Structure 1
């Protein structure tokens, strides 16, 4: 007749305690991730702008040193949300070679009766082109305050990185659409600065319509 060893039942409470602890840890991680997602929206936006993730255009400090003998059609789309503004692109589309610097102009008019500060957000289609569509100069890098009845012409200098032609997701796509949307700026985000028409950068206008 065999006797029961009390130690045989000991692991069960420990396993139960371990499972409970694991459940609590998982719940805590989930809650923490949700909180972090809401708290890190500015970080996510900054990440997208740097990497081009989610179709977000990235900023560049210098133009590429090589230009490929491959032309892309760049289309421009403009929108306004909750602002008494008129926002339009002076060109419907432009033809640029990959690696070549392009220059586009946009006109913004404040149809309201008071100065208003707006902010332009942007992305590209297809989303896979985001990391390769780079801007050297853009009104979207800062908030813009426009006086009532005032119209301002903004230049935008850009290029498509030569690596666009090497990525299997983009190399066979002949067209990119750059889309802008102006919406009211968060006044608490940064000090307002009156918009001034920037001097046109030293880049030649390419294509156009």
Structure 2
């Protein structure tokens, strides 16, 4: 009869996720996991399988958290484009909290694809889910006159996804948050309809007392 586990599996998995996030898959040795998790090799294998299986569970945990954050934020009411901008700010801020190690998902894609099919499948499912969520919101933005008619909601969703992934890579070179904010400002200015941009500019001028 197997003995019951005497550790919090979720807490251990969270520590493994942070370790893989900081060091990457290849650079994380089993000895690193033993030290970080405070468990013997036998306990790790029994609970999580080998290093690769533990990594997949850690990456899945990260992606689930990102999906939950995205879904919760997009449930809010109000104009779409400002809310999407806020969502991206939150995603970038959450990743920055891990010492500017970048996005765990983007790092894993860069390190392990195209050779690791299981990581690839996790990444594709997560990307597709985010694209659908963004597209649905941007379709409403188009109906409400927020989105520029020069771009389709689907293409705008892909643009935002690729922009954020690129920002995650560049922040490892230059972590200045002002640069990431400037990129997002430019993207959303391009996505906004001319009428929305004109209204925003007019409101700013009125607030400043300019006629």
Q: Same fold (TM over 0.5)?
A: no
More helix by share: 2
Looking at CA atoms only, which structure, 1 or 2, has the larger radius of gyration? Answer: 1
Q: Greater relative contact order: 1 or 2 (C-alpha under 8 angstroms, separation 6 or more)?
A: 1
Query: What is the TM-score with the length of structure 2 in the denominator?
Result: 0.25
